Amino acid sequence: MTEPTTYCHNHPGKETGLRCNRCDKYICAQCAVHTPTGYRCKECNREMGKKFNTAQVQDYILVFIVAAVLSYLGSYLTRIVGFFIFFIAPAVGVGIAEVVRRVINRRRSKSLFQLMVVAIVVGAFPSIWQNIYFLFLGAGLQALTGIIWPTLYIFLAASSAYARIAGIQLR
């Protein structure tokens, strides 16, 4: 006895044997979304995403202010520690992420996390601009290193903060 032919729920002309692991509808490769728990249809995937986006309007304001101020303070560490920024900036980024997480009461949204990264860059930017100004005044190598360390700080702190708050795990 042969199995009956099954067709995609959204594309009735496409044969498939793949089902959404949540609603059990037949889906073709075009409709399937690969998730850590298997394949889902686009509707179920969208529905699950809404459950994970719990941020409120005030969270965006709080995240920007808190992350920018902490990053501004952290960027001034670059003047003091120099080379050791390789070790300190990731810790500062993780610290910023933890403070932000507590301030927003662990609510989540991808755009909220991206805004935190923008705020970290904006907060650290004054220390770079100040050194660019000194570079144009002829301060030389000291102003150039004053640009390199804060730039490195921005990259390391922002990437560490995003990885920490977004739950990215390096294996």
Q: Give 68-95 pLDDT, tens digit per residue.
A: 999 999 988 877 887 898 999 999 999 9
Give the count of alpha carbons within 13 A of 123, CB side only.
29
**pLDDT number for residue 171:** 47
28-76 pLDDT per residue, tens = 889 888 887 888 888 888 777 655 677 788 999 999 999 999 999 998 8
**Residue of higher predicted confidence among 26 and 143:** 26
Length of the chain: 171
Is 39:33 a contact under the CB 8 Å cutoff?
yes
Residue 135 has pLDDT above 70, yes or no: yes
Q: Are 112 and 100 in contact (CB under 8 A)?
A: no
Rounded percentage of the chain residues whose pLDDT exceeds 90:
36
Element (H, E) at 70: helix 57-75
Q: What is the pLDDT of residue 128?
A: 83
* 3-state secondary structure (DSSP) of residue 15: strand
Highest mean pLDDT range out of 20-34, 60-74, 141-155?
Answer: 60-74
Using 50, 70 and 90 to split pLDDT, how confident is the model at 170?
A: low
Distance between CA 9 and CA 27 in Å, rounded? 6
Q: Where are the domains of the chain?
A: 1-49, 57-166
Percent of the chain as helix, strand, coil, to the nearest 5: 65, 5, 30
